[in-house]
Amino acid sequence: MAVALNDTLKADGGIWFGWGGDFAASDQASSVQVQKAEGVTYITVSLTKELFNQYYAGYSNSVLWPLCHSRTDLVDYGSRDLAGYRQTNKLFAQCLNPFLQEDDLIWIHDYHLIPLAAELRSWGIQNRIGFFLHIPVPPPQLMQTLPDHEVIARTLAAYDLIGLQTERDCRNLIEYFQMQFGAVELSATRISVFGKTLAIQAFPIGIDVEAFQKATETTPPDHSVERFRKLASRHGMLIGVDRLDYSKGLPQKFRAFERFLSDPANLAGRAVLTQIAPLSRADIDAYASLREELEQITGRILGSYGDLDWTPLFYLNRGYSRECLAHFFRMSDAALVTPLADGMNLVAKEFIAAQDPKDPGVLILSRFAGAAEQMDSALLVNPYDEREIANAIGEALVMPVSERRERYSDLMEVVRNTDVRKWAREYLAVLKSPGNPRIRLISP
C-alpha cells in the first residue's frame, strides 16, 4: 500500500504526514521534521513515549483493534487512554495545519487516526477529507459496548468519504448510524447523519500484482529459498504467513493441522506446515500469552508427530523479503489463511499472484477474512471449526490439477481487479472534488 500511495504522491506532488517512528524528549510535547524527496514532502512528528503509549499500545491497540476484530473479551474497557488518543490526533492536526493549502485533498488512513478530520475541521479546514479503515467494522451491538463510541462516531462524521474493505463493513457502519443516531439512507453509499451527508463505500484493497509476480522471477540472495525447495519437493507443503496477532486464528490453525495429522490415513503423506509469524505488539499482554500458547502447541505437535526425518511444523518468528515469500508461496501446495476476523488479508492475494498458472496451489481461506467476499473460489472455511480446516487440508493436498487451475483462474481475476494502484485511483476519484487538487496523505 505504501508503494502505491507513494507513487500517487510522486506523480501529483504532495505531503506524506505521520508519526516518525521515534520519540520526542519528555520535556517537549512533540517535534516535527520535514524532508523532501522526488517531489514529495515527508512531514513526521515525534511523540513523547508516554503519549505514544496511551495512543498506540493503549487506545488504538488495546481498545479499538480488539473491538473491531470482535474480541470484546480483550478490549480494555476501563482504559483511560482515550484522552491520549485524542490529544495525539489534536497534536497531529496542529502540526499539519500550517502545511495545508485550500485545494488540497486529504486522505487519512486507519483506526489510529479516526479523530484527525474533526481536529482539522476545528482549525477551519474545509477541504475534502477521506478516511480508509483497513480493519473490520464490528456489528453495531459490539460498537455500542464501547463506553466512548459516541465520541468516535461524531468524529467519523467529520469526513466526506469513509472507505471500508467490504460490503459487510459498510452495512455494519450504516446500521450503527441508523440504530444509534437515526441516520437516514440517501442512496446505497450515502447517509444523512448529524445534519450532514456522509459517503460510506467499499474499496477492497489489493496488492501490487506486477511487483509480486516479478518477485517470483528474482532469486533472493538467501539460502532459505533453496532449503524450502528441497523440503517442498519431498513433502505436501502448507504455508501460513501472518503477523503474530490473535485475530489471525493461529492456535486454531495449528490445532486443525494437529487434527489432520491425527488421522492415520494422512500420516503417509508426511505433510509439512511452514508458519511464518513475525512478532508484533509484543508489549501487550494478549500478544505475549498468544505466543506462549503457540509455543506450547508447536512443542506438542513436534513431540507427537516429528521423526528423525520429518519435522511436520516449522514455526518461524521472523521476517522474510518479498522475494523469499513469493518463492515460498509458489512452491507450496496450499496456503492456510484462516483469520478469525480480518479487514482484507493481503497474504491470500499474494499467494494467488505467486502461483504457477500451470500447476497452481490451493488457497484455504477463512470466511471471516474480508478477502472471502470476493475470493469465493478458494476453499472457504470457518476458522473456528478445526475439523473443517483439517478436511480442507486433506482436500487441497489431493485436488486434481484441472480443479486447481479453474479455481486459480477465478481467483487471479479478483487479484488483478483489486490491484493496489487501481484501488488508490478509484478511491481518489470518488473523493476528488472538481479540479486537480494535490494529495496530502496521512498514515499512523
Handedness of CA 285, 287, 293, 298 (dihedral sign): negative
**Pure H helices in 263-344:** 264-267, 285-305, 322-331
Q: How far is the CB of 444 from ligand ADQ (least distance, A)?
A: 11
What track of x and - describes contact with ligand ADQ for positions 253 through 282 (by CB under 6 A)?
A: -----------------------x-x----
Q: How far is the CB of 12 from ligand ADQ (least distance, A)?
A: 22
User: Which of 154, 243, 270, 367 is in the footprint of ligand ADQ by CB under 6 A?
Assistant: 243
Please confirm, yes or no, whether 356 is among the known catalytic residues.
no
Q: For residues 113 and 36, what is the distance between their CA atoms, to the nearest angstrom?
A: 23
Task: Check residue 39 for interaction with ligand ADQ (CB under 6 A).
Answer: no
Single out the segment in contact with ligand ADQ by CB under 6 A; choices: 13-21, 139-147, 284-292, 336-344: 336-344
Task: Give a three-class secondary structure readout of 141-184.
Answer: HHHCCCCCHHHHHHHHCCCCEEEECCHHHHHHHHHHHHHHHCCE
User: ∠ CA(278), CA(252), CA(398), 5° rounding?
Assistant: 95
Q: How far is the CB of 389 from ligand ADQ (least distance, A)?
A: 18
Task: Output the DSSP codes for 388-409.
Answer: HHHHHHHHHHH--HHHHHHHHH
Whole-number CA gyration radius for the chain: 23
Measured from the CB atom, the residue of 1 and 202 that comes closer to ligand ADQ is 1
Task: Check residue 81 for interaction with ligand ADQ (CB under 6 A).
Answer: no
Q: How far is the CB of 434 from ligand ADQ (least distance, A)?
A: 29
Measured from the CB atom, the residue of 51 and 143 that comes closer to ligand ADQ is 143
Q: Three-class SS of residue 134?
A: coil
323, 325, 326, 328: CA torsion to nearest 10: 120
Q: For residues 337 and 365, what is the distance between their CA atoms, to the nearest angstrom?
A: 5
Question: Which residues in the 341-360 window bind ligand ADQ by CB under 6 A?
Answer: 342-347, 350
- Give the helix/strand (H/E) hosting 201: strand 196-202
Q: How far is the CB of 366 from ligand ADQ (least distance, A)?
A: 11
Question: Which residues in the 370-389 window bind ligand ADQ by CB under 6 A?
Answer: none
Task: Check residue 320 for interaction with ligand ADQ (CB under 6 A).
Answer: yes
C-alpha cell at 388: 473443517
Measured from the CB atom, the residue of 1 and 397 that comes closer to ligand ADQ is 1
Q: For residues 135 and 200, what is the distance between their CA atoms, to the nearest angstrom?
A: 15
Single out the segment in contact with ligand ADQ by CB under 6 A; choices: 166-174, 317-325, 389-397, 433-441: 317-325
Q: How far is the CB of 279 from ligand ADQ (least distance, A)?
A: 10
User: Which of 205, 334, 381, 431 is in the footprint of ligand ADQ by CB under 6 A?
Assistant: 205
Q: For residues 156 and 200, what is the distance between their CA atoms, to the nearest angstrom?
A: 11
Please confirm, yes or no, whether 109 is among the known catalytic residues.
no
Task: Check residue 135 for interaction with ligand ADQ (CB under 6 A).
Answer: yes
Measured from the CB atom, the residue of 325 and 335 that comes closer to ligand ADQ is 325
Could you tell me how many residues make up the chain?
Answer: 444
Closest to 401 (Cα-Cα) out of 366, 358, 349: 358
Q: How far is the CB of 68 from ligand ADQ (least distance, A)?
A: 9
User: ∠ CA(224), CA(227), CA(228), 5° rounding?
Assistant: 85
Q: How far is CA 226 from the centre of its chain?
A: 29
Single out the segment in contact with ligand ADQ by CB under 6 A; choices: 94-102, 289-297, 304-312, 338-346: 338-346
CB 305 within 8 A of CB 261: yes
Measured from the CB atom, the residue of 205 and 428 that comes closer to ligand ADQ is 205
Task: Check residue 40 for interaction with ligand ADQ (CB under 6 A).
Answer: no
β-partners of residue 337 are: 365
Measured from the CB atom, the residue of 1 and 95 that comes closer to ligand ADQ is 1
User: Which of 241, 326, 379, 428 is in the footprint of ligand ADQ by CB under 6 A?
Assistant: 241
Task: Check residue 319 for interaction with ligand ADQ (CB under 6 A).
Answer: yes
Q: For residues 29 and 188, what is the distance between their CA atoms, to the nearest angstrom?
A: 43
Q: How far is the CB of 344 from ligand ADQ (least distance, A)?
A: 3
Measured from the CB atom, the residue of 301 and 354 that comes closer to ligand ADQ is 354
Question: Cα separations (Å) of 409 from 373, 412, 434?
Answer: 17, 5, 38
Please count the residues of this chain forming the interface with ligand ADQ, following the rule CB under 6 A: 18
Catalytic residue, chosen from 69, 134, 235, 327, is 134
Catalytic residue, chosen from 208, 245, 342, 419, is 342
The residues that are catalytic are 134, 342
Q: Which residue ranges make up the site for ligand ADQ (CB under 6 A)?
A: 1, 134-135, 205, 241, 243, 276, 278, 319-320, 325, 342-347, 350
